[in-house]
Structure 1
Amino acid sequence: MTEFPQGSGRREGRRSAVACALIGAAVMAAVDEIVFHQVLGWHHFYDRSTPAVGLLSDGLLHTAELLALVAGFFLYADLRRRRALSPGHAWAGFLLGVGGFQLFDGVVDHKLLRVHQVRYGVDLAPYDWAWNAFGAVVFLAGCGLAVRARRRTRRGGRV
């Protein structure tokens, strides 16, 4: 990997995307936990044990999401302080983080590892399709914004 000098547009674009992807993944984890784990009570992060273990797993997920959110905002604040934030890359990263978390949860957690399902006692197909389709649409929107931001950076335009 080529190293770029401090303040170069390409490196700061990547840092902007990474910082906001971390924020996006943390926000989606929080939405998942608040809405589906707590408000609706459809599942816990880990449902293959006792309710106490499920609650503990939710607490560990909450801890991880808060740490990711804080770390992402520290990175974001550093970019803002140095006036090195690339808004186009940042928005792309945010959407990639949201969609990436949703897809990872839907494919890996729900289907491959089976640590939990979206909901129990119902036909899972509509829930799985909606869950993963939402993640895919947001992830693809992030990919589109990333391509646009990269093109603008290469042309020397404002991103």
Structure 2
Amino acid sequence: MDTEDHAKMIIKYAGRNLLSGILFGLGIAAFIDETVFHQLLRWHHFYDKSTTDIGLISDGLFHAFSWFATIGGLFMFADLRRRRALWLKRWWGGLLLGAGAFQLYDGLIQHKVMGLHQIRYVDNVWVYDIVWNGVAILMILAGLIILFQTRKHKRKESSLDA
């Protein structure tokens, strides 16, 4: 496949690169949240409005979701590689966008709007909220910057391999 055909292939699959990165980002952020904050630190469960047993069951379901998203994103990644249509820079932009979107959704909707759990049950929870949501916003911004750099009408042939 020559360079021009390769560039066309990558452009054709630009959306799939983005979706694969977003799915993987959602899954890996959820996996890290569940592993670190739910299991290792034991700060909270996915659902804290009931018994510890219900909290553990909810963590298991949450963990399953994270793995489905992660594996789905990786299957798409493998397919893109097989087709020689992987656009790594765009994929990383999607990953950061997906991870940041998950974390911001978790911090605002699940923690505050729905009240399923707090990041940590302490007097000054707002400090944790600011850090949690601030990191989410930084990931979203980094992902958007990368995706902005990979827009179709601004693409240069040399950036396809990046």
Q: TM-score, normalized by length of structure 1?
A: 0.90
- Shift in Å at residue 9 of structure 1? 3.8
Which amino acid letter does the alignment assign opposite residue 27 of structure 2? A
Within 5 Å, give how 1:1-159 maps onto structure 2. Answer: 8-150=9-151, 154-159=155-160
Q: Is the 8 A contact 1:9 1:153 kept in 2?
A: no
Distance 1:80 1:27 in 2: 20
1:153–1:91: structure 2 CA closer, same or farther, 3 Å change rule?
farther
Equivalenced residues, count: 153
Deviation of 1:88 (Å): 1.5
* Aligned structure 1 segments of 4 or more residues deviating by more than 2 angstroms: 7-11, 151-159
Q: In terms of mean alpha carbon deviation, does 149-158 or 56-65 score higher?
A: 149-158
Contact 2:149 2:155 in 1 (8 A): no
Q: Distance in 2 between matches of 1:149 and 1:40?
A: 38
Q: TM-score, normalised by structure 2?
A: 0.89
SS in 2 for 1:158: helix
Q: Structure 1 residues 105, 11: CA separation in 2 closer, same or farther (over 3 Å shift)?
A: farther
Give the Cα separation in 1 of the matches to 2:154 and 2:80. Answer: 17
Which runs of 5 or more residues in structure 2 are unaligned? 1-7
Gaps of 5+ in 1: 1-6
| Counterpart residue number, 1:3 | none
**Percent pairwise identity:** 42
Q: Describe the shift of the 1:11–1:151 C-alpha distance in structure 2 as closer, same or farther (beyond 3 A).
A: closer
In 2, Cα distance between the equivalents of 1:105 and 1:11? 33
- The Cα of 1:152 is off from its aligned counterpart by 7.1
Q: Counterpart of 1:37 in 2: which secondary structure?
A: helix
**For residues 123 and 129 of structure 1, what CA distance do their matches in structure 2 show?**
11
Coordinate RMSD, CA, aligned? 1.5
The code of the aligned residue for 1:117 comes to Q
Contact residue 11 and residue 152 of structure 2 kept, 8 A: no
